[in-house]
A and B are shown apart, each in its own frame.
Chain A
Amino acid sequence: METAGHKHPNYIAIWVWLAVLTVIEVGVAFMSALPKLVLMLLLVGMALFKALLVAMYFMHLKFEQRTLRTIALIPLPLAVLLVLVAITEKIW
C-alpha cells in the first residue's frame, strides 16, 4: 500500500494571514483618527474574516460535504436573531 501524503491547504499562509491581521487590528484600534463607528465596523469585519479563515481552512469546512456545512451554519442565523431580538426588546 502506497502511503504518499494528502494534498493539504497551505496552513502556514493562513497562520501568516491571522498573525498579520491581528497586528493590523491592534494598530487600527489605537488610531484615534477614525470615527468610532467606522473603527468598530472595521475591527469587527477583520475579526469575522479571521474567524472565517479558521473555520474554512483549519476546521476544513471548505472541503466538507454539504450536510456538515449546513449543520455548522444553522446556529449563525439563530445567533443573529437572538441578539437582534434582545437589542430591539424595547420595540416589542
Chain B
Amino acid sequence: MTHAHATTADMMRAPYPAEPGAGIYSNKLGMWVFLASDVMFFTALIGTYIILRFGAGTPWPQPGAVLNVPLTAFNTFVLICSSVSMVKAFASIADGNQKGLRFWLLMTMLGGAAFVGVQVFEYIKLSGHGLLPSGFTDGSTLAEHAAGDPVKYGLASAGLYGSTFYSMTGFHGFHVTCGVVCMTWVYFKALRGGYTQQDYRGVEVIGLYWHFVDLVWIILFTIAYLI
C-alpha cells in the first residue's frame, strides 16, 4: 500500500468504521454535533452581549480603558500558536511520526496552560483594580478613574460590562481548561504508543475541539477587547 500520493482529503477519510449514511466515524461525528451545539451556546452569550451593549443607551468603556489589550493580544497569539502545534501533532501521526506527535501535543498543552495562566493573572489584576461582574467596586482605582472620565470608562454601563466580560471570557477559559485536561489524557496515551498511523481518532477529535476553542477566542477577542 502506497501513501506517497495521498492527499489531505484521503487523510480526512482514514479507514475507520463509519456511521452508515454519514460516512464519518462516530467519535468525529459526535464531536462535530457537540461543536454545533457549542456554537449555539456561545451565540447565546455573544448575542446577549450585543443586545445589552447596544441596548444600554449609555457609553461603553472604550477599548483599552479598562482591559489590558497588549497582554491579551499576546495571549491570543499564544492560543493561535497552540492551534498550529495541535495541527502539527495531527499531521505528525497521520505520517506515522510518533516523536512528532508527542512533541507537538506537549507544545499544545503548554500553550493552552499558558493561555489559562495569563487569563487567571488578568482576572486577578482586573479584580484588584476594581472590575468585578457587578461593575466597579467602590473606592477602587477604576472607580476613581471612571468618576473623573465617566464616558471613557463607561461608568453607567460598568455592571453590564463586567458581567458580560466575565461571562464570555470565563466560559471560554473553562473550555480551554477542559481542553488542556483532555489533551493531557491524549498526551499520556500517546506516550504509551496509543495512536498509530492507522488509528489516530483521539488526536483528530481533540484537535477539532481545540481549534474550535481557538476560533471562538478569535471572535471574542475582537468583540470584547477591540470594539
Contacts and interface: CB of A to CB of B under 8 A. Distances in A.
Which secondary structure dominates where chain B touches chain A? helix
Interface string B191-210: 00000010000000001100
A46 B222 contact: yes
Interface in B37-70: 37, 39-40, 43-44, 46-48, 50-51, 63-64, 69-70
Kindly state the interface size class of chain A when it binds its partner. Answer: 35 or more
Contacts of A72: 32, 35-36
A51 B215 contact: yes
A65 B22 CA distance: 9
Given A67-B24, A71-B33, A82-B47, A59 B212 contact: yes
Which secondary structure dominates where chain A touches chain B? helix
A74 B43 contact: no
A76 B30 CA distance: 18
Nearest to A90: B55
Contact of A74 (B24, B36, B91, B96): B36
B106 interface: no
Interface string B67-97: 0011001001100110110111001001110
Interface string A21-35: 011011001100000
A25 B226 contact: yes
A83 to B, nearest CB: 4
Contacts of B46: 83
Contacts of B215: 51, 54-55, 59
Contacts of B35: 72
A40 B9 CA distance: 36
A64 B197 contact: no
B43 A82 contact: yes
The 8 lowest CB-CB distance pairs between A and B, nearest first, are A47-B222, A29-B226, A79-B43, A5-B95, A75-B39, A83-B47, A4-B4, A15-B84
13 contacts: A2-B3, A6-B3, A8-B94, A18-B80, A19-B80, A22-B77, A22-B221, A26-B69, A43-B222, A51-B218, A59-B212, A68-B29, A71-B29
